[in-house]
Amino acid sequence: MRKKLSRKVTTPAPPGVAPWTFLTNHAHVLLCLVRDPALRLRDVAAQVGVTERAVQRIVTELEAAGYLRRIKEGRCNRYEIDLDLPLRHPVERHCEVSKLVRMVVGANASK
């Protein structure tokens, strides 16, 4: 049986809107998991507009850097986000993840 190749999912920009965003895919994945810590990576990929494999890589990188922790619950995963860590780029390193989460998701999602 041949394995089905996944294609990158992209949402075209509306007419007159630039095809870029201010946040990275890493931020998008993190914000999706803040909103729903039990979300399947397949669903995260659909929301972010990337492949499931890309989300798996991003989650692995975020976990290795300490930004999230994967908790096994039966056959599913739940994710805990460390909101106290600083953002990574020197320009925004003075801000914690919690500030980004509050700005994008709202006060209900953080602490």
- Model confidence pLDDT, tens digit, residues 51-79: 999 999 999 999 999 999 999 999 999 99
In the chain, DSSP finds a helix count (H) and a strand count (E) of: 4, 2
Give residue-wise pLDDT tens across range 30-48.
Answer: 999 999 999 999 999 999 9
CB-hemisphere CA count at 13 Å for 7? 3
In a domain, 34, yes or no: yes
Q: Say if 4 falls within a structural domain.
A: no
Task: Confirm whether 57 is domain-assigned.
Answer: yes
The number of domains in the chain is 1
CATH number at 94 reads 1.10.10.10
Range of the domain at 94: 25-109
* Pair of tokens at residue 79: 């994710």
Q: Specify if 19 maps to a domain.
A: no
Q: Using CA atoms, how far apart are residues 34 and 97, in angstroms rounded to an integer?
A: 11
| CA-wise closest residue to 8 among 59, 45, 40 | 45
Residue 84 lies in a domain: yes
Flag whether 67 is in a domain: yes
